[in-house]
């Protein structure tokens, strides 16, 4: 089972559970607002993303653990910014049954978002 992760606001995840699918691309953008895919990360990329784009966040975050084999929408691994790093992108809504775990994601004592290891997901 190949796993990828998506950083989510807890309230948006809870709303998605009630709605039947998750549609948030990234912070402040959804598929309903014109975004074309849902940004995801491999475990070793989560802290980089969080510490780059979520530094001022005070609301609770969680990590959606996604089994790529259960996705209904297309998955592509892409380097859209031409920085030499590819990220997994889900082109369409995230079906809830592909989310095999939801984990709280909290800042470390130093105020930074922590690293996530692939072993911690097993």
| Ordered structural domains, the chain, with CATH | 3-116 (3.20.170.20)
CB distance 12 to 24 below 8 Å? yes
| Number of CB atoms found within 10 A of residue 111's CB | 8
One digit per residue, pLDDT tens: the chain, 122 residues?
A: 699 999 999 999 999 999 999 999 999 999 999 999 999 999 999 999 999 999 999 988 999 999 999 999 999 999 987 788 999 999 999 999 999 999 999 999 999 999 998 877 76
């Amino acid at each position: 089972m190949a796993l990828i992760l998506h950083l989510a606001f807890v309230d948006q995840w809870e709303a998605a559970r009630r709605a039947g699918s998750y549609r948030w691309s990234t912070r402040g953008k959804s598929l309903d607002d014109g975004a074309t895919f849902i940004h995801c990360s491999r475990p070793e990329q989560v802290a980089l993303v969080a510490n780059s784009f979520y530094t001022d966040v005070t609301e609770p975050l969680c990590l959606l653990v996604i089994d790529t084999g259960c996705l209904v929408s297309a998955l592509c691994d892409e380097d859209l910014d031409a920085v030499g790093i590819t990220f997994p992108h889900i082109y369409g809504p995230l079906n809830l049954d592909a989310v095999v775990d939801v984990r709280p994601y909290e800042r470390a004592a130093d105020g930074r978002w922590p690293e996530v290891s692939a072993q911690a997901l097993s």
